[in-house]
Amino acid sequence: MLQNKRITVSAPGKLMLLGEHAVVYGHPCLVTAVDQRMRATVELLDNLNLELEAEDVKVMGYKKTLSQLGVGDIPKGAKFVEIALKNINDKYPLKSGIKITTKSEFSSQFGFGSSSASTVCVVKAMSEILNLNLSNKEIFDLSFKTVLDIQGKGSGFDVAAAVYGGTLYFVTGGEIIKPLNINSLPLLVGYSGVKADTVTLINKVKASFVGREKRLEEIYSGIAMLVNDAKIAFLSNDLTKVGELMDKNQAYLRELGVSIDKLDCMIEAAIKAGAYGAKLSGAGGGDCMIALSPEEKKQAVINGINSVGETINVRTNAEGVRVEL
C-alpha cells in the first residue's frame, strides 16, 4: 500500500480587461485574476486508475485506467482534468493511481475560465504531490498544451491568470507574461445571461471578414495599440484614460461583430451612470461586461447595469495558483 498522500490546490478565474480576439493572433492583452476560485484535491491511490469527482459539472464516480487516459469518449466535464493528467503522465510516468475531486466557487456558465483554472490546479497539485517542483512557467506550458489539445485554439491568457494571478500584460502562448503592479482596480462586472462559446466566436469573426482580411488586421493592430496605452495608463493610475481606451476597444469589438444588444445596453447604462468606461469582457456573443467606475459613482453604475442585466460580485487582482492543504 502507498503512503496516503493528499493535497488541495486552488486557482483563480479571470477577466479580460482589454485585447480580446486580437490576443489569439499574437497581439498583447491585459487580464486580471478574480477571487472566485477553483479547487482540486488530489490523492495518490494504490492502483493505476484515475478517479474523478466533479459535482459542479455533473461528473461523479468517473473512473478510467491510466493507460487509457485520453482514449475513447470523455465526458465534457472531465476533459480538462483527464487530458491534464495524461500530459503529466506522458512526461512524468505515474506509478500510482490518482483520485481528483474538484469544487468551484464560481459557476461554469460565466466566462471566468473555469476549465483553465481546473487544468492549472491539477498540474500544480501533481507537481507538489510528485515532488516535481515545476516552475510557474512549466505549469503554464503544460496547462496551455492541455487547452490546445482539447480546443485546438487559444491564446493562454486565462491559463496565465490562473497560474500567476494579479493583473498581467500577456502575449499569445506566454511569449510575454508581465505582472503589473496595480493596487486598485475598481472594476464592476455584469452578466448578460447568455452563455457563448469562445472557439465558435473566433471562427465566426474569421469567416465574417473573408475578403476583408486587411481591415481585420487593422482592427487587431488598433486593439494592440489600445492595450499598450492602457498598460501605461493603469501603471500611472490614470483611470479616466483607461476608461476612454475601454470605450475604443468596445467600438472595435462591435465592428468585429461579437457584441450583442444586451451587452451594448448594459455598457451604455454603465457609462450613462458615470463609469469611466465599459466594454464586453471575453469572446463576446453574450457572457460578461466590465465597467471601470469612480468610487462615488459605484452604486449608480451597479444600478445601471442591474437595470438591464445583473452584476456579479467579484474582486480582481487575485492571488494565483496556491497550495491550500
Tell me the catalytic residues.
Answer: 158
Bridging pattern class, strands 6-18 and 322-323: antiparallel
Q: How many CB atoms lie within 10 A of CB 46?
A: 10
With H, G, I as helix, E, B as strand and everything else as coil, classify residue 59. Answer: strand
- Set of cell numbers at residue 321: 495558483
- Residue 247 near residue 48, CB atoms below 8 Å: no
- Residue 13 near residue 37, CB atoms below 8 Å: yes
- Residue 180 near residue 167, CB atoms below 8 Å: yes
Rounded to whole angstroms, the Cα distance separating 131 from 242 reads: 43
With H, G, I as helix, E, B as strand and everything else as coil, classify residue 187. Answer: strand
Please name which of 166, 168, 133 lies closest in space to residue 318, comparing C-alpha atoms.
166
Rounded to whole angstroms, the Cα distance separating 29 from 230 reads: 10
Rounded to whole angstroms, the Cα distance separating 94 from 77 reads: 23
Residues 6+ apart with CB under 8 A from 90: none
